[in-house]
Chain A
Amino acid sequence: MDLIIKDKIKQVKKGDQAAYEDVVLFFQDKIFQHCYRMLGNKHEAEDIAQEAFIRAYVNIHSYDENRKFSTWLYRIATNLTIDRIRKRKPDYYLDAEVKGTDGLDMYSQLATNERLPEEEVQGMELQNYIQNEMLNLPPKYRSIIMLRYLEEFSLQEISDILDIPLGTVKTRIHRGREALRKKLRHV
């Protein structure tokens, strides 16, 4: 499959727009899924996923063919979702990083039980509950946890996608898992 994609990208670079259709078809599920998990809203996810494919197309000449196309595409999509999250005004002060916590925001400072009493959890579908808790992780942990466990990228690939050092990926995945453990342990 990688070879077919590589070939299609070459055609796109030569100006064959129609060849891009197969690229979008091949990645649409994955990229939409990723955006949805980052944003928690289908309309926003559709919007951002479309934008990601359009940006990839417009900037196709800056894509280095020696690297994996999927990595490059995921990077565009992830950056767009994080930008979108930042622009959400009402939550703005809760999203602000708390000094000295390396990206933990005010949400992470709230006790889980305050937001969702256990009786409420039982009434809710487990799936929704997990999705919700995931959305309460700070975006920079959320993206890594999802890329690792739902999209099954290696830590090295995640480092390439997010353009951050492998050591930072490891630190963040550790913290992300701990945060998730605290949110899900009473399920």
Chain B
Amino acid sequence: MDCNKEVVRLMHHHLDGDLSKEDETKLRMHLEGCKNCQKHFHELKRSITLLKSVDQVQVPANFTQQVMDKLPTEKKHMKYVR
């Protein structure tokens, strides 16, 4: 297999969860024997883990109230819609 393209393509399909059983085996077999691809695969998975470790930021206080204050005033005719 061509390490540069084919294997990397399989890695991404694996990460998206749409790799056939056949290709899954192909990828696993290749990884077992190829240090470079192992490293590449590891780096991909690790970058996702790192990404997920980023903290949440707090939504500013009164956010909802501020949105509500900025909404255009209700149109009169709306009140008759039932």
Name A's B-contacting residues (CB within 8 A): 14-15, 17, 20-21, 24-25, 28-29, 32-33, 36-37, 42, 45-46, 49-50, 53-54, 57-58, 126-127, 130-131, 134, 145, 149-150, 155, 170, 173-174, 177-178, 180-181, 183-185, 187
Contact = CB atoms under 8 A, between A and B. Distances in A.
Interface string B35-70: 000001001101110111111110110011011101
Interface of B: 8-9, 12, 15-16, 40, 43-44, 46-48, 50-57, 59-60, 63-64, 66-68, 70-72, 74-75, 78-79, 81-82
B16 A170 contact: yes
Contact of A15 (B60, B71, B78): B78
A126 B47 CA distance: 12
A14 B51 CA distance: 41
Given A32-B57, A180-B51, A155 B16 contact: yes
Contacts, number: 102
A130 B54 CA distance: 7
A45 B72 CA distance: 21
B67 A54 contact: yes
B56 A33 contact: yes
Contacts of B79: 15
B54 A50 contact: no
Interface centre among B46, B67, B74, B79 (most CB of A within 10 A): B67
A42 to B, nearest CB: 7
B67 A184 contact: no
